[in-house]
Chains A and B, each alone.
Chain A
Amino acid sequence: MEQKVLPEHGTRFTSGCKRCCLLAALVGLSISARAAGPFASAGGNVVSNRSIGRPVLQTVKGRVTDEKGDGLPGVNVLVKGTQQGTSSDSNGSFTIEVPGPDAVLVFSFVGYQPREITVGNSSVLEVKLAVDTKSLDEVVVTALGIKKEVKSVGYSVTKVEGSAFTKTRETNIGNSLAGKVAGVNVSAAATGPAGSSRITIRGNTSLTGDNAPLFIINGIPMNNTKFGKTQGDNPDWGDNISSINPDDVEDMTVLKGAAAAALYGSRAKNGAIIITTKSGKGNKGIGIEFNSNNTVEVPYFIWDLQKEYGQGYNGVKPSGVGVAAAHGQNHWGAPYDGSMVVQLDGVERPYSYVKDQVLKDFYGNGYTSSNNIAFTGGGDKGNFRLAVTDMRNKGIIPNAKMRRDNVSLSINQNATKNIAISANVDYINEKVDNRYVLETNNANSAGTILFVNSNMPTSALAPGYDPVTFKEKVLGTDLGATNPYYALNQIKNNTQKDRFIAAINARWNITDWLFVQGKVGQDMFSYQINKIVPEGTGYRPNGQIDQITTNFYERNFEGMIGFNKALNKNFNLVVNAGGNLMAQHSNGTNISGSGIITPRLEVINNTSVRNTTTSILDNKINSLFGTAELAYKNYLFLNVTGRNDWFSTLSPESNNYFYPSASLSYVFSDAFEMPRAISFGKFRVSYASVGGATDPYQLNLTYGVLPYSYDGKPLGTINQAVVPNKNLRPLSVNELEAGLDLRLFNGKVGIDVAAYNRSTKNDITTETVSSVTGYNGAVVTVGELRNRGVEMLFTVRPVTTKNFSWDVSLNVAYNKSKILKISNSTNEFLLGTATKVFLKQVVGEEYSQIVGRTIKRDANGRDVMDAKGLPIVPTDVKAFGSGIQRYTSGITNTLSYKSFTLSAQVDGKFGGLIYSNTNYNLEHRGMSPRSLLGRANGVVLPGVTETGEENKVLVTAAQVNNRDIIVRRRDALDDYLYNASFIKLRYVSLTYNLPRALYEKIGFVKGASVSLVGRNLQTLLKHTPGIDPETNLSAGNDQGIESTQLPPTRSYGFNVNLKF
């Protein structure tokens, strides 16, 4: 079939000249880097001579201590003006070779003021570092692992120490980021401990595409596939961020804006999070660290349930089994009177409310235990760290289990004086049993335990199946509603993940101002899902077994050349250039076996029909990039970057795009004399353009055959459910950012403010189209949206004395994502639905609008009633507001007194809405307190008639019990739509560090601490009766619907840390 062709874009990059191009460009870059040399000599300093002439080496030994005289381990010791350096060992001792007595050693350590010491003739140095209250020369990791001093950075970067994730942890480390970094919005979907996490930075850049940041682990892009969201009888299958073990994280650096991440090109449109895992740096000899974290998760019930009326319909309790079966979830019966009533299993039981006990019986406490042991070692030439972690979790639904084992190895070695090699290998093995199924009532035990008649005791439900035939004891005529105990005892799902992430890095410092670096990395995993619905299940009587296997790898080869040189007294130039080759491959097999042949043998080979579908996806991006930083007098820094990406997934005519950025950092506190109160001040501004491509095979329409046939006749099919588009081109995200960094009163107060305007153009969107077109959607590439926001970080140290210190860190961020254009033909895009509510992108409105009908109201806001005395709900729909919170905020207080540290975080989000599908369901089943209105005697609903008079029409009890009011009101969203703002006490931890004096007596112990921890302890503010405002059904772009019947949990536990 033919398709209309749209205009072409971009330039052609043919395969024939590709090798030459890459090679030539690389050589070109390297020459241009060298060309900077002569330029440098124009400054009158012929630097290259120095590197040729062999200096006389002198060995310097020494010890670095703090103000108390205790040795400081891990201090960076660098020969000034070179790349040559070492770090102090666990006693603070170091050894370094210097070119001669003129050499200056720079000692730097996070949290301490750096010192420069001229070696002179002394061969033993005693260096005391003072605690830094300004932290001006803090170093951060930026894109491509390039380390920069904070003051030279012209965009917003936030570092989070790994210790922030270890004590009060979540099973998915993504969720632990909540409230920690201004501008980072974490929405933990209601998916259970093994589920996915939604992380966005500075809003949403794509209407329908991925809005998650790029994760980089030890310099290697890390896959963050989401394996499938909660849908039908499928649970959320988890994501790939959950592979990260908090115990192995040294720190996480969040590159928020486009400028920060521009060097990653097409993949960085949503910012980047750079994870550095722990290494053996700063160790001498062998060290052992043990950490154990154990928590119990206690569920609590917050639903609003009426306790007055029981099972039945039309105000009548069931008269027989048939009636009871027809109303397995209807609570429109008679008032509870304790009389004996036959229930749907044919047994007579008292007609009384027993739901509270049923819920208590069903749910148990969850437990999480994580144990980590790490061996570290080091010497003059290198170091290593090997860590093994075992994490086990048991869910609040008793059959849910999770186990994750991480093995992490880090090796750093100086092969020669100038060549350093490092390798990181992480192996992750994860096994999850029985993830929570939460969407429809199929296999959803959390749903049916809540919705089944409140007068049915546990004994009426458990064990959920006939002990002889194993058939489900169904909950009535609605076979889609699975008996919760049947789901618990018979329906199973499990997943296994095996994953290797490996990175090898070699760096050669050719001279003290020139280096080359090569990096090879691979992230590969195999993921297997096994899902078993046994025969005899109500909604699938013949049973079904699904087995889905995905194998994936991403390989990256990266080469870089770097140049760092003082051009003259005032100017310093840093240039880095390189190339990257990225190859992604995944192949998947999905076997769906239906019709279990031999009962109770629940293996895929025991199914009578097995349909197999396979998929192969390949994707490559070739890139060249370069960056240059020009510094003037160490207070004005100009940074420019450029990256060109070539995509295999786009048509060759338009498959190559260039992403530039420029940023400026101006440390005015160094440029001018400042008032005493201002210890540091920096202004920064940046502009960047980044982008994103698309998935493979989006360009052409293709055909295939179904995995089964009609008596041998092949059944043809069209592979695309979405209209493909030959003329796709990458979207672009342009961002302008300005920021101010101020440290006041000797660093006691820090203020970091950023404002940005980020606009997306040519967004690749799957526009939802009427199914009459033959397709669900059409791929278009014209979407536009804009994110504007402000971020603020305040750090205050009100008290710092010898024994007592108090640190406060407050972050506040505001982001508004506005949709400017969806496509040429539509102003709306459907993201998701649940019964009466739609989540849509609407032009002119904020991201993820909650759309639906509303009750007709007069000018005074009173409901307008029809002749039957029921509210009028017109069929036209309105956009109520966004399901994404505009404001995110978190405050952390840390109080230390002698050996005790108390830390607590309170965070909140504000300015979004949430629609509760749970409350909708409770209401139409007659379970909500509001459903009681008028059941006994009827009711005259408050409101006015269409002519404006007061409504006086009685809705009779018979009508009420026929659900007339609910059926009418539930068409509108009004009753179930809430302000989703909340404030939560996220965690509290109390740590006792054993005094040094105590463990030094024991000898081999180097440190010990014990913590009491609690997480998600209290909701301090919410506006959502009966539900937790933080439980979005989805971890995708469709934000704003709550539909989880899972109770929230509080967790309590302890953490023990020992160092040997």
Chain B
Amino acid sequence: MKKTLSVLLAVGAILVSGCDGDFEQLNKDPNAATAEGFSPAYLFTSAQLFSSRGDDGASLHYTEPFVQHFATLSDAGTFDFFGDKYVYNKGGSESLWKNTFNAVNGGSKLLEDAIQLSKDKPELSNLHNMARIWKTVIYHRLTDLYGDVPYSEANQGFSAQNYKPKYDTQKDIYYHMLSELEDATAKLDASKGGVTADIVYGGDVAKWKKFGYSLMLRLAMRLQKVEPATAEAWVKRAVAGGVFTSVDDNMYVRFPDKTGANQSLVNGESWTLSVSGVSPGKISATIFNFMKSRNDPRLKYMVAVYSDPSKASTKNTDPAVQKGMPNGFNLVTIKSDASWDNTKDQHQYSGINRDVYAKLDGPRMCITYGEVQLMLAEAVIRGWISGDAEALYKNGVAGAMKNLAKYDASAVITDAEINAYLTANPFVGVADKEKAYEQINTQYWAACFMNGLEAYANVRRSGYPKLTPINYPSNETDGTYPRRLRYPEDEPVLNAANYNAAVARQGTDNFKTRVWWDKQ
């Protein structure tokens, strides 16, 4: 039996020698960091980048044609610029939402963790407050496009195990965003150092303050129709805080990869407009004619005919051949339009000048000096603040024109050109306020070219310019102007109660329902 026992021990020894002491250590991923050992600044950088790209389904394909900056002859049966026909496209309609809320690189999720991980860390207070301001950038776009959206309970899947986030009312969101802007901007402190992770201003606290107040001005103006008193109060606070003072304050995100080798590091809209090559998106006749009839110096940098869009070499910027495409037509119906030349194909219409506006490393504008000046001009006329409306208007137009150089250094509009334009198109004066609002907000609309989300919000808020809605067969709005996009299709499935509550409160989930601030 001794032999038996020794064999047993031998077998036992074989077994146990294979068993080492690191059993529990095994379950720690050697390639990952825990919250304690990780800098939230890295998350902030990612959040800035990823919330500035990836939403072109909504921004480019819907809102740009909605505001008649772009047009297309693509049918409802094809896959681009759905906003031209007011038809529903799932991917397009939900793209801003899906880009905001995304488990892998959703800007709002990364930002939320950056905010939480920098909280209560005095040495990271500037980072923390910049992140809070950025949160407003993300959510105002989102709520402007959809209305009531998850806000107070969003991105809490891990921290609160909240898998059914409620939708906050747009009113609550706006109130909260404004107070956040006020608090976070006030708490920015130059003495606490820059934030090198910032890809917009390189962490310059002074610029961030101006940006915070400028954004506050935008949010305040948004409430003009629905709650003028609230709007007025916040406009005053924004102005008191100090808004943008030159085009060098403009807030935009620039993309580092001009080759396009890494698609995550290029301007997503530029990618669609230039690399995809045969993009059927053309410049809308509405903005084209607005600029052409006013001899707008921007137009020469803005448009180009590409007879074969897949070849950049077929570009033609000769002003004589440029023309805008009317909205709401397809390849058949366009033939009855006066603009159509039957000897040519659809590429007879001007597209966007890719070398200026669709560079892969080109900027994505968020808010600019020109817009700020135009908003101030309107606020003066409304009597909310004091100032010289005409001077503000002129600054606004000039600022919008100067902004082109931010897209490409060659696109410089000279002071002489600006003055000539302002002389030919003078301020209409304040006697007829509606006329002034129309002029100011139409310039705002032109200033927001390539910023479809903002242009669309301001068109809905101000009612200007007065765009003629299209009425294409099977459209979503019965030929009325679209007021919002639809929620993602998986929300009624995955978050039904909260989705249903939002729809019950706000109105049917279609393109016709108005968001809260867009009062009839």
Contacts and interface: CB of A to CB of B under 8 A. Distances in A.
B261 A703 contact: no
Interface string B419-444: 00000000000000000000000000
Most chain A beta-carbon contacts within 10 A, residue among B4, B11, B332: B11
A772 B15 contact: no
Contacts of A699: 27
B447 interface: no
B138 interface: no
B157 A723 contact: yes
Interface in A867-904: 875, 877
A701 interface: yes
A699 B34 CA distance: 12
A401 interface: no
Interface stretch (A147-155, A258-266, A616-624, A999-1007): A616-624
Contact of A559 (B14, B78, B197, B473): B14
Nearest to B276: A479
A648 B345 CA distance: 66
B23 A620 contact: yes
A545 B30 CA distance: 27
A74 to B, nearest CB: 31
Interface string A687-731: 000000000110111111110101101111111111110000000
Nearest to B279: A477
B15 A26 contact: yes
A435 interface: no
A542 B33 CA distance: 33
Contact of B106 (A559, A715, A771): A771
B260 A542 contact: yes
What DSSP secondary structure best describes chain A's contact surface? mixed
Give the most central of B35, B41, B199: most A CB within 10 Å.
B35
A27 B8 contact: yes
A38 to B, nearest CB: 12
Contacts of A600: none
B176 to A, nearest CB: 17
B74 interface: yes
Interface string B473-498: 11000000000000010111111000
B15 A579 contact: yes
A697 B26 CA distance: 9
B494 A22 contact: no
A714 B42 contact: yes
Contact of A1 (B19, B116, B162, B494): B116
Contacts of A581: 15, 18-19
A806 interface: no
B520 interface: no
Interface string A310-341: 00011010011111011100101000000000
A4 B263 CA distance: 38
A830 interface: yes
A411 B379 CA distance: 92
B23 A15 contact: yes
A910 interface: no
A201 to B, nearest CB: 29
A649 B27 CA distance: 6
Nearest to B88: A967
B77 A330 contact: yes
Interface stretch (B61-69, B107-115, B453-461): B107-115
A770 B167 CA distance: 12
Nearest to A559: B11
A99 B108 CA distance: 81
Interface stretch (B148-156, B223-231, B398-406): B148-156
Given A322-B345, A477-B80, A723-B158, A877 B26 contact: no
Contact of A774 (B24, B158, B331): B158
B253 to A, nearest CB: 10
A697 B31 CA distance: 11
Nearest to B157: A773
Interface stretch (B97-105, B321-329, B384-392): B97-105
Contacts of B42: 703, 705, 713-716
Interface in A514-538: 514, 516, 518
B77 A327 contact: yes
B469 interface: no
A214 B146 CA distance: 49
Interface string A761-778: 000000111111111101
Contact of B46 (A649, A717, A770, A959): A717
A648 B26 contact: yes
Contacts of B278: 325, 474, 477, 479
A314 B330 contact: yes
Contacts of A561: 8, 11
A22 B24 contact: no
Contacts of A720: 158
A959 B492 CA distance: 30
A710 B154 CA distance: 27
Contact of B161 (A23, A542, A700, A723): A723
A19 B16 CA distance: 6
Given A1-B35, A26-B15, A323-B331, A717 B29 contact: no
Interface in B309-359: 330-332, 345-347
A22 B495 contact: no
Contact of B3 (A510, A723, A838, A875): A510
Contacts of B24: 15, 648, 652
A830 B332 contact: no
Contacts of A15: 21-24
A873 to B, nearest CB: 13
A609 B161 contact: no
B256 A962 contact: no
B83 interface: no
22 contacts: A18-B19, A22-B12, A22-B15, A26-B8, A27-B8, A30-B8, A323-B331, A477-B78, A518-B11, A541-B276, A561-B8, A608-B259, A611-B262, A615-B31, A646-B23, A648-B23, A697-B32, A703-B32, A704-B31, A714-B42, A825-B164, A830-B494
Interface of B: 1, 3-5, 7-9, 11-12, 14-16, 18-19, 21-24, 26-35, 38-46, 49, 73-80, 98, 101-106, 108-110, 112-114, 116-117, 150, 154-165, 196-197, 199, 256-257, 259-265, 275-278, 280, 330-332, 345-347, 473-474, 488, 490-495
